[in-house]
Structure 1
Amino acid sequence: MRLDNEQNIIHLVKNDEWMMNILLSAKSLNLPEWWIVAGFVRSKIWDTLHGFTERTPMADVDVIYFDQSNLDENIEKQLEQKLKEMDPQIPWSVKNEARMHLVNHNEPYSSSVDAISKFPETASALGLTLDNHNNVVLTAPWGLEDVLHMVVKPTPSFEETDNGAKMYEERVVKKNWQSIWGKVQIHHFQ
């Protein structure tokens, strides 16, 4: 399958029953500005570009949303529990991006997509959601070029954060993407 633009990626996701079931589960929570982000999207793209016939296992499936009216972290745990009841095989992680700027030592985010733009790597600054008609919607605040060319580099906004270089380099070592996807190219801070 050709994979070189947004429509190709959306088509790839729509034809993946496992991914669609996960998206439908997340949608059922009726969360404001919800997205499933990062590795959920990136891994599918890289698996496809590498010609893998089996899905690369994921440490977690990150569901984010944006609700300034309730910043209680316990709500996130309750939402994770609801998702685990729907599908206990999935390693769910739920975060309200309206509070995550505090954890990440950033200025407050204005939306979920704004938060995605502050993720460490451009190739991971991706999200999927479903519209009211269950059409797949993709967001990529820094574009798709890096993920499609299998390039890992810091997002411009992450480069500007205090301690960004150290955190980025630690993530690159911890994630060790090249051991799974051999064609991935890592760019380091200058």
Structure 2
Amino acid sequence: MTLDPRAQLPLDEQAAALRAALSENATLLAVLERAASLELSGLYVTAGAVFQTVWNVVSGRPAEAGIKDYDVFYHDGTDLSWDAEDEVIRRAGEVFGDLGVAVEVRNEARVHLWYEARFGIPCPPFRSSEDAIDHFAATTCCVGVRAERSGAWRVYAPHGLGDVFGMVVRPNPLLAPRAVYEAKAERWSREWPRLRVLPWPEHG
């Protein structure tokens, strides 16, 4: 597979290329704009809706193909009750309800309360939405975007954007178990056959 030239751009140019690629997904643009209206602390649109849009653009597919939901992270440690998060989710349902896609809004300050029951290992409390993004199962997934009032986009990408444009899936063994990474990589490879999936490190 020929490497997409955007994978080797300087980081500032990659950020501009990311915005151009994501702008091809009209649903993502609507989610970004409407998410900003929720005025949630530490807000990012992140996960598959972001990196999979780029994969689609690089692959020449429709920008929204294969994207099963749109994830919105926020971080509010002032109230860790389910009721407080549920109130935000209900409000978000009114904001996104007519888009015809699943928009998952979650308070990342609460993840440690349910993570072990779901995945079998404990999760430390996340200090911020950025901290939560840092712990995705693959470094390639660690990208978050939000629209600022100025019209600029804030992009958080601790591992850069080269792998995203290069369609490389790289493990991130900080938290998620190996089985989670491999299951996700297998599912993604069926949808995007051009992906190059790197193996989980045997040393841990």
Q: TM-score, normalised by structure 2?
A: 0.81
Residue 135 of structure 2 contacts residue 174 of structure 2 at CA under 8 Å; is this kept in 1?
A: no
Of residues 103, 114, 118, the one that matches 1:92 is 103
Q: Contact (CA 8 Å) 2:51, 2:141: kept in 1 or not?
A: yes
Q: Which runs of 4+ in 1 moved over 4 A?
A: none
Unaligned runs of 5+ in 2: 8-13, 116-121
| Distance change in 2, residues 1:178/1:98 (3 Å) | same
User: Letter of the aligned partner of 2:137 in structure 1?
Assistant: P
2:126 corresponds to 1:109: yes
1:2 touches 1:8 (CA, 8 Å); kept in 2? no
Q: How does 1:56-67 map to 2 (within 5 A)?
A: 56-67=65-76
Residues 160/52 of structure 1: CA separation in 2 closer, same or farther (3 Å cut): closer
Q: In 1, distance between residues paired with 2:174 and 2:37? A: 36
Shift of 1:54: 5.1
Structure 1 position 18 matched with structure 2 position 31: no
Gaps of 5+ in 1: none
Rounded to whole Å, the distance in 2 between the matches of 1:2 and 1:135 is 24
Q: 1:96 and 1:15, CA in 2 relative to 1: closer, same or farther beyond 3 A?
A: same
Q: 1:28 aligns with which of 26, 37, 53?
A: 37
Structure 2 SS opposite 1:113: helix
Identity of aligned residues (%): 26
2:128, 2:73 → 1: CA distance?
Answer: 10
Q: Could you list the per-position Cα deviations for residues 80-128 of structure 1 after superposition, in whole angstroms to 9, with x for gaps in the alignment?
A: 3323323321201111111113333222222111110011111111111
Answer yes or no: is 1:46 the counterpart of 2:63.
Answer: no
Q: Which residue in 2 is equivalent to 1:7?
A: 16
Is contact 2:169–2:195 with CA below 8 Å preserved after alignment? yes
1:76 alignment partner in structure 2: 85
How far off its partner does 1:19 sit?
A: 2.0
